[in-house]
Chains A and B, each alone.
Chain A
């Protein structure tokens, strides 16, 4: 069991791996649930979440956003996140899938 580690690995459908802070990653309810130690799914055992439907480009952007959210969680007058317009649709779908506040991008 690796639930007490600080970092988790997110893996994109096309095989890119991102090691990010667990606390940041858990903004997504889907990721959070998959890592829940009381449930003991495989993700929790391996400390690694494979997100098959999300490609590396999008996942990178998502990780950026997760950190962005973590950084500004408690502050006001937050600068807008950097979102390339061509990725917006895919990001929205991913946000819906991950069930987090990413949905508030739009």
Chain B
């Protein structure tokens, strides 16, 4: 049998196979023919003949049948897409896709049959002559003869172009909410994925990547650009985020169900760019943007924003900025509210033209108001912190970047130079809780309160300032026994120790130690007196606190501003003075070489007072006994009246001369003894609120209190917000001590480094002090100057940059 004969058998059999009539054919027979042809070295002829016949079949039968499926309006649609309704377009599109899928499927089956029949040719001829397998060649023929052919003789577009645009059209329909046949599209996509654009069969040369995917990404970009515009115009930020979110997942699904998964990262990139990167700023700043979401606790929407932003930006810049801005805004609002509240005029209108001192009661009121403002501030800040913690946890998946951003923003507004009172306010908050707040609370609750304070404390930059206030407040609590529980006080200290370090708490702990030693001293002294044996019913009991002067902020106690430095000793009455000398002797026996300074303005005394029988307003006529608790100064003043006949009086000047109490202290004490209505143990003439040097004071025989025990409060004791003058003073003192800290730090650094450029010295100083406070650079410069003057440092002459040398 010669080749032509064999070929005619094979080619007619192939025609049967193409028309699906294989059942009449014997595979073995065909195989044997092809086998023999190849054995006779006619492989090349066979190969070429097969290709030719395939080409004829594809262009003669397959292509026309596909063209027949292309409805004229489908082609017209390519040119101007307005001609059809959506459902029309979908139907004609699907018809075309189905035809193509069918043709492709048939071609594949048919070609694998042919390839199997020609198996021997593939194995022997193709391998020896390095020709692609007959199957691969047949696939390429399909691309060339079908896909790359023109739609019809009239149109200069290929079937492939039409295929792409039909698929894109279908996807567009799905985006608009229609249901499309995903499997149909997927099989066409598989076809494109299986074919290559050129002879080189490299990965990125697949028809899918080269022709379809590019068009897909481009049209998608256009679509999402427009959609973003539309969404921005029509919906609120939450709605926008929801849509964007949905779109991203839709595209992901689409890649899985309709297209290739390899497209997923690319299309997501497109969507993310168009819907997120390019628009997020606008969305975040919309009226219904992040600010609105925060204010209305839209956790789910914030979580969407977070999700979107973290897709495109690891740092989540837009969200972070918006959050930070809002925190600072809200924080500043709280601070401003506190300032306004503390400066609001007291409800009572000030008595006009009553002289400068006439406002004695006024600062009292406004101080309370300020204290309330301080507590309010702390509560508000904590609430704000809670709010953002919740948002951070629920909406931001406890993201680290955002946490530090939030922390930074809290620090920013708490340490804002426009609001210098944070340290004081936080200390006051603790003070208030120590005195009242924790009463009746369980250990757990107390712990929670302390932790709150610590949370705020962490934000404070100027820790030295806080320490100053805390010491001052603690001092008052300890000395006046205002603290509810010593245990809690110590707990607080140990919490601070954990958070702020040992340095911070040593002085505070020393205060507690002084208190303990003082208790021992008091009981020791009591035993000592009893040991002397003089059992005296009139004996005065002494409870003493010995305070180390460096540790305690004594200058902040009481107002001794005009006697600064030299504190005049008040004259104690003889009975008291004897006691004082007794204790001094006892103390000096124990610790020689120490000097005791008596701080009478800080003490208090219990006096048993008897008021004689004089007619009362209610007509009763009997003796009344009261236990009076007064300040030490108050006691000194009252004792003066012990020896005075009831109709005699003392003038202010006389009292001052006899007691040598500093004038401001005396005025305040007399105010509480003679002006305050409930504790009017003295009567002042003339009756008015302020005290003048010429005023006369009588013992109030008719005094009648409701209770046996009466506490005579001294004006402005207790911890309150400082007034402006006090604050200036505190700040000045703080600045002074900062100066020392800075100098010490500079010397430490220079001692180690010997020589250092200016800039570096400043940086190192800042970093050394970061745990205590943030010094101003100007201040550091001044300290350096001063150290140079005192010859600790010198400038290095001729250095290219400013440098210093340490002088040992």
Contact = CB atoms under 8 A, between A and B. Distances in A.
Interface of A: 29-30, 33-34, 36, 38-45, 49-53, 97, 99
Interface in B117-131: 117, 119-120, 123
Which of B25, B27, B35, B120 has the most A CB atoms < 10 Å from its CB?
A: B27
A51 B28 contact: yes
B32 A53 contact: yes
23 contacts: A30-B31, A33-B27, A33-B116, A33-B117, A33-B119, A34-B27, A36-B116, A39-B27, A39-B113, A40-B22, A41-B27, A42-B23, A42-B24, A42-B27, A43-B27, A43-B28, A45-B23, A50-B26, A51-B28, A52-B28, A52-B29, A53-B32, A99-B123
B125 to A, nearest CB: 14
A77 B117 CA distance: 36
Contacts, number: 49
Contacts of B9: none
Contact of A43 (B26, B113, B120): B26
Given A34-B28, A42-B23, A97-B120, 6 more contacts: A34-B27, A41-B23, A41-B26, A42-B26, A45-B23, A97-B35
A44 B24 CA distance: 10
A40 B120 contact: no
Interface in B8-28: 22-28
Contacts of B31: 30, 33-34
Nearest to B35: A97
Contact of A52 (B32, B120, B123): B32
Interface in B25-61: 25-29, 31-32, 35
B498 interface: no
A38 B109 contact: yes
Contacts of A51: 28
Interface residues of B, number: 18
Contacts of A29: 119
Nearest to B116: A33
Contacts of B28: 30, 34, 43, 49-52
Contacts of B26: 34, 41-43, 50
Contacts of B119: 29-30, 33, 99
A32 to B, nearest CB: 9
Nearest to A49: B28
A41 B120 contact: no
A17 to B, nearest CB: 14
B25 A41 contact: yes
B35 A39 contact: no
A51 B35 CA distance: 13
Given A30-B28, A34-B28, A40 B35 contact: no
A39 B753 CA distance: 90
B38 to A, nearest CB: 11
A52 B32 CA distance: 9
Contacts of B23: 40-42, 44-45
A99 B118 CA distance: 12
Contacts of A97: 35, 120
Contacts of A36: 116
A39 B123 CA distance: 20
A38 B116 CA distance: 12
Which of A34, A38, A51 has the most B CB atoms < 10 Å from its CB?
A: A34
Q: What 5 pairs across the A-B complex have the smallest Cβ distances? A: A34-B27, A41-B27, A33-B116, A42-B26, A39-B113
B120 A39 contact: no
Contacts of B116: 33, 36, 39
A34 B26 CA distance: 8
A38 B25 CA distance: 14
Contact of B120 (A45, A49, A50, A99): A99
Which of B31, B32, B119, B120 has the most A CB atoms < 10 Å from its CB?
A: B31
Nearest to A46: B26
Contacts of A52: 28-29, 32
A51 B119 CA distance: 16
A99 B113 CA distance: 16
B307 to A, nearest CB: 47
A29 B647 CA distance: 137
A36 B35 CA distance: 19
A14 to B, nearest CB: 15
A55 to B, nearest CB: 15
Nearest to A29: B119
Contacts of A39: 22, 27, 113, 116
A51 to B, nearest CB: 6
Given A33-B119, A36-B116, A42 B35 contact: no
B25 A42 contact: yes
Contacts of A50: 26, 28
A26 to B, nearest CB: 13
A73 B290 CA distance: 68
Nearest to A38: B109
Contacts of B32: 52-53
A13 B86 CA distance: 64
B114 to A, nearest CB: 10
Contacts of B120: 97, 99
Contacts of A44: 23
A52 B26 CA distance: 11
Nearest to A51: B28
A102 to B, nearest CB: 14
Which of B24, B25, B26 has the most A CB atoms < 10 Å from its CB?
A: B26
A35 to B, nearest CB: 8
B169 to A, nearest CB: 33
Nearest to A42: B26
B401 to A, nearest CB: 57
A41 B114 CA distance: 12
Contacts of B29: 52
A52 to B, nearest CB: 6
Contacts of A42: 23-27
Nearest to B31: A30
Interface string B431-464: 0000000000000000000000000000000000
Nearest to A52: B32
A86 to B, nearest CB: 23
A70 to B, nearest CB: 21
A27 B774 CA distance: 85
A39 B25 CA distance: 10
A77 B25 CA distance: 42
A59 B255 CA distance: 52
A65 to B, nearest CB: 19
Contacts of A38: 109
B310 to A, nearest CB: 49
Nearest to A97: B35
A38 to B, nearest CB: 7
Contacts of B123: 99
Nearest to B28: A34
A37 to B, nearest CB: 11
A43 B32 CA distance: 14
Contacts of B113: 39
A96 to B, nearest CB: 9
Interface string B107-148: 001000100110110010000000000000000000000000
Contacts of A34: 26-28, 31
A99 B116 CA distance: 11
Nearest to A30: B31
Contacts of B22: 39-41
Nearest to B20: A40
Which of B22, B35, B119, B120 has the most A CB atoms < 10 Å from its CB?
A: B22
Nearest to B120: A99
Nearest to B117: A33
Contacts of B27: 33-34, 39, 41-43
